[in-house]
Amino acid sequence: MSTEKHELDELLKLPPLVEETMPFSKFLQQLKEHPERADTAAALLVRAIKSRGEVSIEEAEKTSPEQVPYLKMLKAQGIPLYLAFQHVRGSQRTVTRIMKFLEAAAQNGYQLRQMITIIGGPGCGKTFLADALKACIEGEIAYAVKGCPVNENPINLLKLLSPGQLKALADKLEIGELLTDLLKVAGEPCAHCWKQAMKDEQSPNLGPVEVVALRLSSRHAGISAWMPGQGCSLKAALRQGSRGIVDMPEAFSVAKPAPGKTLELDALLDATEARRLTSGSDECSDSHGYLALDAVLLAQSNNGAWKDFIDAQKDPSRFTRRNRILAIPYNTSVSEEIQAYRDFLSIMKARPHLDPLALRVAATLAVASRMKPDIRDSNVPLDLRMRIYDGENIPLHKGFSRLSPSFSETDRWSGAAGASGTKTSAEAGNDALTVADLWEKAGEDEAMIGLNMGLMLSAVSQVSELALSAKGAKHRCVAAMSMLGYLRARIEIELKTPGLTREDKENLERCREHLAEPRSHDASANFVEKEYRRLLRAQFVGAFSPDYEKRAGEIFEKYRLHATAAAVGEAKVFDKSFNRKIDVDTAFLEGIEKLMGKTSEDERNRFRRGLESQFTNLLTEHAAQHGEHEKCPDVQITWRTLPELEKAISRHLDGEIAKVVERMLTDELQLDEAEKVLRAASLKRFDELGYCPHCREVALAYFKEFKLWTNQA
């Protein structure tokens, strides 16, 4: 029993608040090998974030493959995927901006003397993001003067030495340049630390001063939070958060001081630019006047509170020039939105079965509500932008037009979007429209309004509870159509909420339009339902054609072989499958080219002649991206290499599959035994996507009702 208790006690041990105590001289001696021990709070936070690593795309492919295109797109745009913020879904671009600020501060730039204020609507993730930053620094080690009320950096004490002493010390320790850099951002020692050095008034000495390796903690020191009117003073929060981070939720909710009082936020004026705060001592003297402050200052606010606060100031620049304002938009990645819902569902004690597209329906509405319906200098429709934002590779040129042949509104099966008017990646060059172009055209104010995450998690929770509590229901599940119906009802309820702002009301009315029920079977689907149809159709294609990639590859190889021969005027080609020469299949070539929008003979011949050169150019460009001594990974030329050819092959193959799907699902009684076996195997593959029998029947009935095997989705 005693052995078991001892083992349990060992398992329950916590790390000590002070990891190590050492003489000041030892701390200085170790700086040459460990210069990071004298880091500022900003540098410590950057190091802590980076030490947690980045998301592995290889691992993501195993655990959440639907997120991989989005993650790859971010990597291609040079946006890091910090693991520390992985749970703050869709925050990668915002985190990158915060990290650039912190990295500049860590290099002792002017940002070291500024605070960050993150501004965003309710439920955009401000608090979640702030908590993630605090979690990064929780448990990190900062070296501080023992007993100091602000745990100040021991380097500060060196400012008590004369220039001659400092030079001799730097020479002795061989840290001349390092010591010079450290002293540039050191603060003035506080009275407490000064008194430690002055204990022996006859021969004051820094030697006896002790340094502690302090473990930062929100419960002890180095991490603090302050909110106006919550009891704790801002000065107290600044003292506790020194050497770490000070979080200030709703910091600007009080715009004016109470009568006869000073504005508490005035403490931030010195805390930023001068990196100090008043000691709070009743004694008036230079030594008691200030405490050195080294902390990352993070404020949170909504747009209204920040505007009211600035408008109430006689000199707004006092705060604006000491502030880096970062707008926090709502998430605009569908796959990240879905993952946020899954994160939430994972903590529920009981969960219904969810149709594989149910959460996507909700996420589509949420993201659509946050994105601008149209953006300047671009006619890229919202649904296409949404897919590009989520990492889908849809090459477009900058002259893209909704009405041009670049894009067909009916092209929803394979997910391709390039066409005759769209240049290939090899042709497009600087004219290619990238996701970064779309972000820039949308502007930084995109996604600042919309359905917030709190509302959406509430919706996911409620629809789950309804499914679990439905009386008489044989199936405890949420079909995609059930989610669609619930969202329609929920938006109507939200529209009746008293006190809605004009922007909120307009946004909810736009959501109502996105969810509007088709007036007839022949009418176009609403925005959300149209996306559902596209995805449902793709699922059935995969189920009824598991060899899709193989067949597409065969069509590509046939086209490449015959097109190359036709380009040089040859009438025959050697076909390996027949092991003999056969006639060039011009009807097949023209059929594929027609799907690319190349209807004239001149267009067809020009494309055929340039086909192999396009492949050569792509391989050359790929090789050029790697240095002379860098190993260039193998690149395979496949049916997906040229976007417009990929689209044409998809449409050609989709047309063949559509006929099979239609027969399998509408002529069940006329099927022979082999066809019945194929139908059963196909539906089994469909079930393996995550459908329960009930959800499968709902999806199948919908698929048949709207004849989604046609191109009219």
Per-residue pLDDT of 572-604, as tens digits, reads 998 887 788 999 999 999 999 999 999 999 999
Mean pLDDT of the chain: 88
CB 148 within 8 Å of CB 190: yes
The beta-strand segments (E) located in 18-124 are 18-23, 115-119
Look at the block and give the residue holding tokens 């998809």.
650
Amino acid at residue number 701: A
Establish if 473 belongs to a structural domain. yes
Angle between helix 480-495 and helix 527-544 axes, rounded to 10 deg: 170
Taking residues 422-435, what's their average pLDDT? 54
Measured between alpha carbons, how far is residue 535 from residues 413, 539, 540 in Å? 7, 6, 9
**For residue 119, what are the β-bridge partners?**
301, 327
Same-domain check for residues 481 and 426: yes
* CA gap 298, 289 in Å, rounded: 25
Is 283 in the same domain as 378?
Answer: no
Q: Which phi and psi angles does 659 have, rounded to 5°?
A: -65, -40
Q: Is 401 domain-assigned?
A: yes
Task: Kindly state whether residue 526 falls inside one of the protein's structural domains.
Answer: no
Q: How far apart (Å, rounded) are the C-alpha atoms in residues 319 and 307? A: 12
For 103, the token pair is 């990295």
Same domain flag for 139 and 273: yes
Give the span between the Cα atoms of 302 and 39, in whole angstroms: 32
Question: How many domains does the structure of the chain reveal?
Answer: 3
The DSSP 8-state label assigned to residue 274 in this structure reads: I
pLDDT bin (cut points 50, 70, 90) of residue 483 is very high
Q: Across residues 359-378, what is the average pLDDT? A: 93
Q: How far apart are CA 421 and CA 711, in angstroms?
A: 20
| 476's tokens | 């405890």
- Do 205 and 346 sit in the same domain of this protein? no
> Do residues 231 and 340 both lie within one domain?
no
Q: Are residues 287 and 162 in the same domain?
A: yes
Supply the range of the domain harboring residue 585.
534-625+633-705
- Please tell me the least confidently modeled range out of 191-205, 322-336, 485-499: 191-205
Q: Two tokens at 269?
A: 């004026």
Task: Give domain status of residue 46, yes or no.
Answer: yes
pLDDT at site 159: 94
In this structure, are 511 and 581 located in the same domain? no
Q: Are residues 543 and 507 in the same domain?
A: no
What pLDDT does 521 receive? 61
Instruction: Tell me, yes or no, whether 8 lies in a domain.
Output: no
Examine the domain organization and report whether 489 and 545 are in the same domain.
Answer: no
Partners of residue 23 on adjacent β-strands? 210
Residues 57, 34 share a domain: yes
Distance CA(189)–CA(142), nearest Å, equals 17
**What local confidence, expressed as pLDDT, does residue 633 receive?**
55
CB 482 within 8 A of CB 460: no
Q: Is residue 6 part of a domain?
A: no
Residue 486 is encoded by which pair of tokens? 């619930």
Question: Contact, 649 vs 557, CB < 8 A?
Answer: no
| Residues 665-700 pLDDT 10s | 888 788 989 889 999 999 999 999 999 999 999 999
Q: Rounded distance, CA 619 to CA 631, Å? A: 14
Same domain, 323 and 341: no
**CA geometry: angle 177, 183, 186, nearest 5 deg:** 150
Residue 583 falls within a domain, yes or no? yes
Whether residue 296 is found in the same domain as residue 231: yes
